[in-house]
Amino acid sequence: NHQNLPMAAQDTTPNASDDDFNPALSNDALDELDAMLDDIRSRNEETPQWEFCDGFLSALVCTRRPIEVAEWLPMLLGDGSYIEDAEEGQPLPFQADIFKDEAQQARFLELCQLRLDEAATQLDIETDALDSDDAFQPECMDMRGAIAILPEAEKAEMEGQDIPSFGQVWALGFMFAVENWPDDWATPRDKDAAKWIDDSLEKIVAVTEDDTGKPAVNLYDDQGPASTSQERVDKVGEMIWACYDLRQIWKSFGPRVE
């Protein structure tokens, strides 16, 4: 019976003035990730945005067993094949089909690990409010809200483009991970647990759909034109609580026994 609270910020990164909370990824680090992904996209046009990556990494934190980087990196940015020559405790062999150099690979993986650790820590802290400093917040952006405040000429350039709804790309990233590790997400025999997992995943799947409700708020700029429905804000809140539930229930089960 979680209370859904509206999310006040467009990218959920607190302002620098919030002295008591420092996110694992600063705004500069997020800009750096965007630039790296743009560079990788110049070689592989199917490279996702960071919001999708953040949803994907969050799903790894909620998955039944720990999934190592040699398994998840090629699924996110490569051809999906496990990196066979990876050795436990050693840096990942250079993936020349993804990164421009070893430094870029090391930095990308360092920032992803910071986010994985942060998400795991936050989802393990009991909270009753999504606006508390230590609550888990997905890296979602209100793209429609951002475009709504652009000058008319720039807005006209976006005409006809399919602009994702708030949280949609993040939820797609989460479900991409769920779908690619079906054995680890197979519901257990325990009927109560199975229902709990299914209900939680339904809440995330709901955000993969388009927001067709009446725009009521702008989450990019609270002074901007309304771009996101209140129903969508509530659904994103339910999606976040679902992550808490999935993390806890899979931790209670532990990895599958062969």
Give the residue from 167, 168, 147, 166 showing the smallest Cα distance to 158: 147
Apex 123 CA angle, 195 and 116, nearest 5: 115
* Average pLDDT of the residues of the chain: 90
Q: Which residue has the higher pLDDT, 20 or 213?
A: 213
**217 DSSP β-pair partners:** 228
Largest CA distance in the chain: 59
- Is pLDDT above 50 for 44? yes
User: Phi and psi for 22 in degrees, rounded to 5?
Assistant: -125, 115
DSSP-derived secondary structure letter, 45: T
CB 72 within 8 A of CB 60: yes
Place of tokens 């496990």: 82
Q: Which residue has the higher pLDDT, 237 or 154?
A: 237
- Is pLDDT above 80 for 255? no
- pLDDT tens digits, one per residue of 90-136: 889 999 999 999 999 999 999 999 999 999 999 999 998 999 989 99
- Is pLDDT above 60 for 12? no
What local confidence, expressed as pLDDT, does residue 20 receive?
56
- Is pLDDT above 80 for 70? yes
CB 211 within 8 A of CB 143: no
- Is pLDDT above 80 for 245? yes
What local confidence, expressed as pLDDT, does residue 21 receive?
63
Give the residue from 13, 18, 8, 15 showing the smallest Cα distance to 30: 13
Determine which of 139-148, 168-177, 232-241 has the lowest per-residue pLDDT on average.
Answer: 139-148
- Is pLDDT above 80 for 8? no
Apex 72 CA angle, 55 and 165, nearest 5: 20
pLDDT classification of 157: cutoffs 50, 70, 90: confident
